[in-house]
C-alpha cells in the first residue's frame, strides 16, 4: 500500500478536539456529518452531495494516518483529503472492489478526537458552520 498522503482542507474553526456527533446518510440526499468543538463549542456540518461510501472508526484504529503527518498540520484542520494510503487504497487491493474502476473517486477524512469518518465521494465537501442559538 502507498504511503499516507493527507491534504489539509479549510474549516471554519480550528480545534484538535473535534467530536463527530452524528452521521446522516440517505440514498437519495446529501450525506451530513456533524462535528462539535469540545474547546470552543462551535459546530459545523460537513456535507457531501454524492457520498459513495462512509466508514466510522475509532481514532486509535487509524493511528497510522497520524504517524507520518506533521503535528502542525494536524492542528490546522480536522478535515483532510486522503490522496494516498487510505481506506480507498486498502479496498483497491481487492479484485472485487468495483469502485476502483469507476470515474475518479476521492477520499476524505474527518478526524475526530474519538471517532473518525472516511468518505468516498466524486465531489469535495461543503463545510457549513452552525451558528449557536442565542436566547433573547
136 in a structural domain: no
- Give the chain's domain count: 1
What mean pLDDT comes out for the span 118-129?
95
Buried b (16+ CB within 10 A) or exposed e, 93-123: eeeeeeeeeeeebbbbbbbbeebbbbbbbee
CA distance 76 to 90: 26
Q: Tell me if 135 is assigned to some domain.
A: no
For the whole model, what pTM was predicted?
0.87
Least confident of 7-16, 31-40, 94-103: 94-103
Domain holding 105, by residue range, is 5-130
pLDDT band at 1 (very low <50, low <70, confident <90, very high): low
Q: What does pLDDT average to over the chain?
A: 86
Asked, for residue 102, whether it belongs to a domain, the answer is yes
Residue 124 has pLDDT above 60, yes or no: yes
HSE toward the beta carbon, residue 94, CA cutoff 13 A: 8
Cα-Cα-Cα-Cα dihedral sign, residues 57, 45, 77, 83: positive
Residue 99 lies in a domain: yes
Residue 108 in any domain: the answer is yes
- Within a domain: residue 43? yes
Q: Is 79 within a domain?
A: yes
Output 88 or 115, whichever has higher pLDDT.
115
User: Is 31 among the domain residues?
Assistant: yes
Q: What are the CA-CA distances from residue 7 to residues 80, 94, 115, 125 (Å)?
A: 5, 25, 19, 13
Per residue in 40-91, pLDDT tens?
899 999 999 999 899 999 877 777 766 667 777 777 899 999 998 888 878 7
Amino acid at each position: 500500500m502507498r504511503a499516507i498522503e493527507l491534504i489539509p482542507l479549510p474549516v471554519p474553526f480550528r480545534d484538535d478536539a473535534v467530536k463527530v456527533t452524528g452521521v446522516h446518510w440517505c440514498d437519495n440526499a446529501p450525506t451530513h456529518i456533524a462535528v462539535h468543538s469540545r474547546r470552543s463549542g462551535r459546530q459545523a456540518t460537513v456535507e457531501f452531495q454524492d457520498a459513495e461510501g462512509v466508514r466510522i472508526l475509532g481514532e486509535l484504529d487509524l493511528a497510522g494516518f497520524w504517524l507520518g503527518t506533521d503535528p502542525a498540520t494536524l492542528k490546522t484542520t480536522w478535515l483532510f483529503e486522503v490522496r494516498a494510503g487510505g481506506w480507498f487504497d486498502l479496498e483497491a487491493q481487492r479484485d472485487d472492489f468495483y469502485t476502483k474502476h469507476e470515474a475518479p473517486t476521492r477520499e476524505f477524512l474527518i478526524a475526530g478526537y474519538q471517532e473518525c469518518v472516511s468518505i468516498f465521494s466524486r465531489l469535495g465537501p461543503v463545510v457549513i458552520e452552525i451558528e449557536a442559538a442565542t436566547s433573547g
